[in-house]
Amino acid sequence: MTPTAKGPGDDYRQRPLRVVGFVSTRASDPERGPMVTMNADDARTRLLVDGELAWVYGPRRHELAEVRIDDRLTRGDVNLRDIVGVAPSEIVRVVKPDLDDRGGAVRGARYA
């Protein structure tokens, strides 16, 4: 069942998620880099698939991270790896990048 928006501005793709785990890797670790692990329902709601990049917006900064799907996580919870500026129990938002928008400026347009 796919949730539906209940009113203007009520977008389920923007719902906050709680950080329940954080992993910080070392330079010698074979797998490292920013990653967000989430429930399949949360990923589907945000139109994300396993292996895709997504923006992770934390309380202090935002960063691109690889998405991993893990159904052992409860809906609404995420695990993070190597994302600076977040800690367990904080709230983050995971958003699919808008690849159609290039900063809002129209190429070749002149502004008065």
Residue 31, CB-side half-sphere exposure with 13 Å CA sphere: 4
3-class secondary-structure state, position 49: coil
Could you give the angle at the alpha carbon of 54 between the alpha carbons of 42 and 3, nearest 5°? 25
Residue 29 forms part of a structural domain:
yes
Structural domains in the chain (count): 1
Residue 7 forms part of a structural domain:
no
Rounded CA-CA distance 16/91 in Å is 6
Residue 110 forms part of a structural domain:
no
The 10s digit of each residue's pLDDT in 28-85 is 999 999 999 999 999 999 999 999 999 999 999 999 999 999 999 999 999 999 999 8
Output the pTM of the full model: 0.77
User: Where residue 65 sits, what CATH number does that domain have?
Assistant: 2.40.40.20
In the 8-state DSSP scheme, what is residue 2? -
Domain range for residue 77?
14-95
